A and B are shown apart, each in its own frame.
Chain A
Amino acid sequence: MAKPIMAQRSFVQRAAEPKKVESVLDLVGDTPLVEIRKLTRGLPSGVRIFAKLEGCNPGGSVKDRPALKMIRDGIQSGKLSPGKTIIDSTSGNTGIALALIGRILGYPVELVIPSNVSTERKRIITAFGARIIYSDPLEGSDGAIRHCWKILEEEPEKYFKPDQYFNPMNVQAHYETTGPEVYRQTQGEVTHFVAGIGTGGTIMGTGRYLKEKNPKIRIIAVEPDDALHGLEGLKHMASSIVPGIYHEEELDQKINVSTEAAYAMVYRLSQEEGLLVGQSSGAAMHAALGIAKQLQWGTIVTVFPDFGDKYLSTNLWIGWREKMSIGDLQFSI
């Protein structure tokens, strides 16, 4: 393993000036890496945690990466051609990404979404002009998957389905972009990569790239601790349709996080780090901190899949001030 960096406080060099691009699609990826400095108080000085702020993508989430890759691959392979409609099942962020990309490239987009996804997500998708088909909230994301297949079977010629759960381009997007970015931004010092499992694309693709660069880098996945959970975007694998792109044998470790612990971390991130993120970021941070506490030195990189503005109307923020005094958590307000 590489030696710990003690004196150097930041790997991240601020860009001289923002990028000038031809299309909003050119802004996908190259997201900033921010060091988590306050939540890590008390850890050995050689242990550092960095978070990749995927909310900085133009569609507001990590899902811009696989969505763009899958759409471009569809066009290149001829599976997506003018006149076709893009369809997929999603609980939101992929839907936003597809809606945005479809609008720019001129393809209509239809999305099958459980009706209990956050209001903000539905509104953003609608604002991009995509059509939403609601599935039964009691059936969750697996119900949306099944509903989408049913629609596709009825009119297979009409649609192109990126199929994020089974499309290897989902993994490839992270192998080609997220992985190299993490390695470059930490100057190869990364020792642990921690990310939540939704489709498995982020952890699989980034993990493969990092393992190729340095097999000692540990790849750690985060998932909800129970089938009934409140971590929008994450999947409890044991009780779900397992995505075809997900290969658990490639992981070094899997950490289960409770909804309560993830929510508490969302509050701490907003109060102590000035980072208002979604609940899946809270889960990732909780897991990263748990790993950090076991180390004497190491550079942990985690992924914050999106910002928190899409969840302000959700139950996440019900009674959050009461929750802040629970347990041994210390808050700065």
Chain B
Amino acid sequence: MVRVRVPTPLRKFTQGADEVSAQGNTVRALMEDLERQFPGMKERICDETGKVRRFVNVYVNGDDIRFLQNLETSIGEGDNISIVPAIAGGL
């Protein structure tokens, strides 16, 4: 199990929770588990081809997965995942 921090715009899927638990050996598997638990969440994070949308950053223990192995980045017990909008909406 890993902890996933959820940004405000996605909390409507998690009943307002800012952090949830999920499982998977890779970020891709984690996304599938998040979708299973919180239907509708994955398509907000990933585009129609399955890639993480450009305006979303996913961090594993503080590192952007774009600089790791993207969706194939391995994750393990106790890792901290954050889903962060790439920009701060609202002026």
Give residues in A with beta carbon < 8 Å to B: 63, 90-94, 113-114, 116-118, 137-144, 164, 198-199, 224, 226-236, 239-240, 259-260, 263, 279, 314-316, 318-319
Contact = CB atoms under 8 A, between A and B. Distances in A.
A259 B91 contact: no
14 contacts: A91-B90, A93-B91, A116-B86, A116-B88, A142-B8, A228-B9, A228-B56, A228-B85, A230-B86, A234-B90, A235-B91, A239-B12, A315-B55, A315-B87
Given A140-B8, A230-B54, A240 B88 contact: no
Interface residues of B, number: 27
B53 A91 contact: no
A115 B89 CA distance: 12
Contacts of B47: 260
A228 B91 contact: no
B8 A118 contact: no
Interface string B1-39: 000011111101000001000000000000000000000
A224 B9 CA distance: 12
Given A116-B84, A138-B18, A228 B90 contact: no
B5 A138 contact: yes
A114 B88 CA distance: 6
B9 A234 contact: no
A198 B90 contact: yes
A236 B89 contact: yes
Interface of B: 5-10, 12, 18, 44-45, 47, 53-57, 66, 82-91
Nearest to B6: A138
B14 to A, nearest CB: 12
A126 to B, nearest CB: 17
B54 A240 contact: no
B25 to A, nearest CB: 24
Nearest to B51: A319
Given A94-B91, A140-B7, A315-B57, 10 more contacts: A91-B89, A137-B7, A137-B84, A138-B8, A139-B8, A142-B8, A224-B89, A231-B89, A315-B86, A316-B54
Nearest to B10: A228
Nearest to A89: B90
Contacts of A263: 54
A318 B89 contact: no
B54 A113 contact: no
Given A230-B53, A230-B54, A118 B87 contact: yes
Q: Pick the most buried of B6, B54, B55, B86: most chain A CB atoms within 10 A of its CB.
A: B55
Given A199-B91, A315-B55, A137 B8 contact: no
A91 B87 CA distance: 9
Contacts of B85: 116, 137, 140, 228-230
Nearest to B7: A138
Contacts of B54: 230, 259, 263, 315-316, 318-319
A49 B57 CA distance: 35
A106 to B, nearest CB: 25
Given A113-B88, A116-B84, A140-B88, A259 B53 contact: yes
Contacts of B56: 228, 230
B9 A137 contact: no
Pairs of residues from A and B, 9 with the lowest C-beta to C-beta distance, nearest first: A230-B55, A141-B90, A198-B91, A227-B9, A114-B88, A228-B9, A232-B87, A91-B88, A315-B86
A263 B83 CA distance: 21
Contacts of A116: 57, 84-88
Contacts of A144: 88
Q: Pick the most buried of A144, A224, A230, A235: most chain B CB atoms within 10 A of its CB.
A: A230
Nearest to A317: B54
A143 B90 CA distance: 11
